[in-house]
Amino acid sequence: MVRIKRRSPVDYRLCNQTVTLYHWDGGDVYARRVIEKGAFLDFKKTQDVSKTGSKEVNSFLLVIPCDEVTVAVGDKVLHGEGPEILTREDWAGLIPAKVPGLGVIRYVDPKYWMDRLVHVEAGG
């Protein structure tokens, strides 16, 4: 009998950054999860052109190799290891205009290979 090892066609060598994920449950719980050297976070600036002119638009892509979904729309992600968030005021102050390297997640897109979740892409 020959055993075939199935490997993902995706290379995760670039998922070597540390990020901090923040989640608020809508009540009193503010969760902080540091992913050490296991994520990829890339910020991008583009120009959005409309009838009234153009403006700079910031976006980002977050990739987390995993076997379960760990990110939700509305969560926040910070490049590096971020501070604890304990209160509603802390959460409200955690905004991209005040905190460099912070993004608010607007979409979550789980990716599967061979019927198995291999990574989650999220962005905003």
Nearest partner of 101 among 87, 119, 121, 81, judged by Cα: 81
Tell me the mean pLDDT in the region 113-122: 91
pLDDT band at 2 (very low <50, low <70, confident <90, very high): low
pLDDT tens, position by position, 31-66:
999 999 999 999 998 877 878 878 777 899 999 998
The share of the chain scoring above pLDDT 90, in percent, equals: 68
Q: Give the CA distances from residue 111 to residues 82, 114, 115, in Å, rounded to whole numbers and listed in that order.
A: 27, 10, 10
Tokens encoding 82: 């971020």
Name, in order, each residue with C-beta under 8 angstroms of 117's C-beta and a sequence gap of 6 or more. 66, 67, 68, 69, 110, 111
